[in-house]
Structure 1
């Protein structure tokens, strides 16, 4: 199994280090800052061999250049964003694979938050690095994509095995829980997850990773095709894309 380390950076971002024990290969996912990553690498005695980007936003790629200079590690990210990730060495897209030592990730195209967004799924390690597409109890804002694109992307991720662990780009779970409870207050799985999140938050601990199975039960953004959610939104019989769009609209204006 991959040895996965979570590194908080900036105000609420997470960067991930992945080490393959069989070969010593080490990848970093979405380095929004270089210095915290370099410090952890030094502390652990690990040498960086791969830099993985899910999308082009600065809080996910700003550390690329410095880490590449320190390690000579190639930057691997969405081919569709080649013009927006100047350090990119290897562009990948839907169905491609990326090897980190003996471990293999499948690339999944998940446009919506950005037009070129991808996720890295290490199936044998039950680990999904999904950037800002899927959050615990939430999903990313639609900066470049459409509701239809994002709903399609979320359905792709929802179809992965329940035991898949979600490693997303931000610590947004507490705020997401408050919104989710505002539109799905009687969901026992959501209630339990919200209570767990509050305990972790008060203890100063990360709320991630979380299993996809838990998200399938509690995350309203994965329920746009559930007639019960549509009815609660006053949209009985509506198309799931319309239900998703309304859920996202409400989250964008939520002040709870």
Structure 2
């Protein structure tokens, strides 16, 4: 893992992430729900903040950007498609664009669904997904369609299986309860649900998590699984339709 990653709790159940290149000392923060916890985490480690990477426009991901920029002078990167509703950007990006952090190169993945301008940032060993792919879940479809989100999740699922998925909220316990209604016979899911419950009992974050574990347990990624299709009585439906049914059930859960 070329990056050192720090999970920073913010607000009620949000996370920001510090991504630090040990070789150069460069540090980025992915989303800034509020500035104070991010600045404190930087100060604790003696790190400077060089870049802020924004995943999407919702206030619980950007409301601390202005204060963090004022305190650090960090450069701000976000989606060109959402420039009109993001804090002022120094760099606007789109699908496939390169994002450099010190000596480490990442790239932008457009992941519409939760919002139409949502992006993720993939670096060697880690992907910062905001409210697209989440721990045992995916973001609610506030602006995009189920078909868009399904395609977005397929892009993320194609990353190396040992990639750390760094998502934007502490929703894993609720997502686990729902996932067990969709995939009740999955022993890997039952084991993960127990570990999540233990972590939350000790107020420990459940993220980041390896993509391999999401592929094995996250029902939103498993719409092709025969057991899930049988559970939903959709044995022959297209995967995108199965995904849409899972998302609709989660909305009602």
Q: TM-score, normalised by structure 2?
A: 0.97
Q: Deviation per CA, 1:139-174: give whole Å up to 9, x if none.
A: 100011001100000011111111001100001000
The aligned residue for residue 223 of structure 1 is 222
Does the 8 A contact of 1:221 with 1:247 survive in 2?
yes
Q: Structure 2: how far apart are the matches of 1:46 and 1:118?
A: 25
- Answer with 81-90 or 4-13: which moved more: 81-90
- Answer with 197-206 or 147-156: which moved more: 197-206
Instruction: Within 5 Å, give how 1:154-173 maps onto structure 2.
Output: 154-173=153-172
Establish whether residue 239 from structure 1 lines up as the match of residue 238 from structure 2.
yes
Instruction: Within 5 Å, give how 1:123-142 maps onto structure 2.
Output: 123=124, 126-142=125-141
Does the 8 A contact of 1:227 with 1:237 survive in 2?
no
Q: Structure 2: how far apart are the matches of 1:185 and 1:11?
A: 29
Q: Structure 2: how far apart are the matches of 1:87 and 1:37?
A: 19
Quote how far apart the aligned CAs of 1:223 are. Answer: 1.0
Q: Structure 1: how far apart are the matches of 2:77 and 2:195?
A: 35
Q: Structure 2: how far apart are the matches of 1:103 and 1:199?
A: 35
Q: Structure 1: how far apart are the matches of 2:19 and 2:235?
A: 44
The aligned residue for residue 26 of structure 2 is 25
The aligned residue for residue 201 of structure 2 is 202
Does the 8 A contact of 2:62 with 2:87 survive in 1?
no
Number of equivalent positions:
252
Unaligned runs of at least 5 residues, structure 2: none
The aligned residue for residue 57 of structure 1 is 58
Q: Structure 1: how far apart are the matches of 2:76 and 2:232?
A: 43
Quote how far apart the aligned CAs of 1:18 are. Answer: 1.2
Quote how far apart the aligned CAs of 1:92 are. Answer: 0.5
Q: Structure 2: how far apart are the matches of 1:228 and 1:79?
A: 40
Query: Please, what is the CA RMSD of the aligned residues?
Result: 0.9
Does the 8 A contact of 2:183 with 2:227 survive in 1?
no
Q: Structure 1: how far apart are the matches of 2:52 and 2:185?
A: 42
Give the SS at the match of 2:4. strand
Q: TM-score, normalised by structure 1?
A: 0.96
Unaligned runs of at least 5 residues, structure 1: none
Q: Structure 2: how far apart are the matches of 1:212 and 1:86?
A: 30
Q: Deviation per CA, 1:106-138: give whole Å up to 9, x if none.
A: 111110000011111112xx1110000011111
Quote how far apart the aligned CAs of 1:87 are. Answer: 1.9
